[in-house]
Amino acid sequence: MLWPSIALLAFVTLQRLAELAHARRNTAALLARGGREISPRHYPYMVAMHAAWLIGLWLLAAGRSINPFWLIVFMLLQGLRVWVLVTLKERWTTRILVLPGAPLVTKGPYRFLNHPNYAVVAGEIAALPLAFGLPLYAVVFSLLNGAILAVRIHAENAALNRAPT
């Protein structure tokens, strides 16, 4: 059956496009308030990896059956994604931005993890291909994402450690 896989891929695609628009607005507002972008050189690689992940899923997963277990895992991750977005509000962006004088967010999922959004994304990058029965795809993109997150988390932690409290 073709439509369930197309519907799921369309949902993820529209979600990502809406988030990019939201992130762009937040980025502009944060920069206008004196925010500074940290380590922007890795950003195009991150965007390219996420775009390749989604395009590849459209090419390989459209028309495939969906494993209910991995679909539930993916949908639970969507709930966590919303929790992160609601917690960060106007500070959520796809870039690493430091807003001088702004306190570190320590509520919501940030009570439990330093980087909950990255944990959610790592889970999504594995769970969605697994929902479509693409384990090798899940492994390859999880490794690529892990490499980007290693750079990103290092840069973000360094920026946060240097930020005045």
Tens-place pLDDT, residues 22-63: 999 999 999 999 999 999 999 999 999 999 999 999 999 999
In Å, how far are 18, 31, 53, 60, 116 from 120, measured between CA atoms?
Answer: 17, 26, 15, 23, 6
Predicted confidence at residue 161, as pLDDT, reads: 79
The residues, any chain, with a CB within 8 Å of residue 144's CB and separated by 6 or more, are 49
Q: The domain containing residue 68 runs over which residues? A: 3-162
pLDDT digit string, tens, across residues 64-100: 999 999 999 999 999 999 999 999 999 999 999 999 8
Confidence at 139, pLDDT banded by 50, 70, 90: very high
Predicted confidence at residue 159, as pLDDT, reads: 83
Structure tokens at 56: 């590849």
Predicted confidence at residue 162, as pLDDT, reads: 73
Question: Is the confidence at residue 1, as pLDDT, over 90?
Answer: no
Predicted confidence at residue 160, as pLDDT, reads: 78
The rounded Cα 62 to chain-centroid distance in angstroms is 22
Mean pLDDT across the chain, nearest whole number? 95
Confidence at 141, pLDDT banded by 50, 70, 90: very high
CATH of the domain at 11: 1.20.120.1630
Question: Is the confidence at residue 165, as pLDDT, over 60?
Answer: no
Q: Give the span between the Cα atoms of 39 and 7, in whole angstroms.
A: 36
Q: Considering the entire predicted model, what is its pTM?
A: 0.91
Predicted confidence at residue 163, as pLDDT, reads: 58
Structure tokens at 63: 């028309």
Counting the structural domains of the chain, the total is: 1
